[in-house]
Amino acid sequence: MQDRIALLAIRLADDHLVLGHRVSEWCGHAPVLEEDLAMPNIALDLIGQARSLYAYAGEVEGKGRDEDMIAYLRREREYTNCLLVERPNGDFAETMLKILYFAAYMEPYWQAMTGSKDETLAAIAAKAVKETAYHIRHAGEWVIRLGDGTEESAGRMQAAVELLHPYTAELFENDDLTAELANAGIASEPSDMRAEWDRTIGAIFAEAGLSQPDVPFPHSGGRNGEHGEAMGFLLADLQHMQRTFPGASW
């Protein structure tokens, strides 16, 4: 069971590290000062959550890997993040929507995990659930403001919806790992989050005047390490320091 817990922790950590990295790319480029504070703060939350999870995964898998080794010294196919989070940032509307889509999934997930039989995962979740609620509020406000804004902002927001919606189904995919851990009372099945996600997104979209498109062919594969083109470039950036100076720390 310990190795299964480590796999789940790494999967969750990969989602958070990759999204955290993407959001951190906005540092110094946000449209207003408040956003230039908000973006790195959100990135810090996500990367902090990833750190706790990687450190715990390293501890339970017992292979002598620390959080940096797992985070920085794997190959692309070994990352099991969902495809949504690795998407390039696009414009501000797209980034905010991506943060919202992910946070609306994670909030009920963390909430459920606070009752996990694994004490460490429950403690990580107890912190993360509050941080995630902030992300929903912040990104949700922007999705409403832009969706219900000018013709230009509404058009961009709806375009972001068309682009990113096909990546959301992957969030709710169950597999052998999630089934096993759900049976053991460690973590919920991703599909259990669907109803709450629909409620959160539905309420925000109603205020924003946005509509959810039909998605005949949703994207998937990240959980098996099958990533899009953007992932390699992201990892080149993310891993540069550790690859160039192995073991570097400060």
The answer to whether 49 contacts other proteins (rule: CB under 8 A) is yes
Q: For the residues of 186-235, what is the DSSP string, one character each? A: SS--GGGGHHHHHHHHHHHHHHHT--PPP-SS----GGGT---HHHHHHH
The answer to whether 21 contacts other proteins (rule: CB under 8 A) is no
Q: Which among 59-67, 119-127, 209-217, 227-235 is the span making contact with other proteins, rule CB under 8 A?
A: 119-127
The answer to whether 23 contacts other proteins (rule: CB under 8 A) is no
Smallest Cα–Cα separation from 49: which of 15, 16, 11, 86? 16
**Interatomic CA distance for residues 210 and 11, integer angstroms:** 31
Number of residues that bind other proteins (CB under 8 A): 36
Instruction: Kindly tell me which residue out of 133, 169, 177, 182 binds other proteins, with binding defined by CB under 8 A.
Output: 133
The answer to whether 235 and 79 are in contact (CB under 8 A) is: yes
Per-residue binding letters, 51-90, with other proteins (x by CB under 8 A): xx--------------------------------------
Query: Closest CB to other proteins among 197 and 227?
Result: 197
The answer to whether 149 and 93 are in contact (CB under 8 A) is: no
Whole-angstrom CA distances from 187 to 5, 91, 119, 151 are: 9, 34, 11, 43
Least spacing, CB of residue 146 vs other proteins, in Å? 14
Q: Which among 47-55, 156-164, 211-219, 238-246 is the span making contact with other proteins, rule CB under 8 A?
A: 47-55
Residue that the structure tokens 């083109």 belong to: 229
Least spacing, CB of residue 175 vs other proteins, in Å? 26
DSSP-based three-state secondary structure for 164: helix
Instruction: Kindly tell me which residue out of 28, 64, 75, 119 binds other proteins, with binding defined by CB under 8 A.
Output: 119
**Interatomic CA distance for residues 60 and 225, integer angstroms:** 22
Q: Which among 90-98, 120-128, 155-163, 185-193 is the span making contact with other proteins, rule CB under 8 A?
A: 120-128
Token pair belonging to 8: 């789940």
Per-residue binding letters, 190-229, with other proteins (x by CB under 8 A): ----------x---x--x----------------------
CA dihedral sign, ordered 123, 15, 42, 248: positive
Instruction: Give the interface with other proteins as residue ranges (CB under 8 A).
Output: 34, 37-38, 41-49, 51-52, 107, 119-120, 122-124, 126-128, 130-131, 133-134, 136-138, 140-141, 144, 200, 204, 207
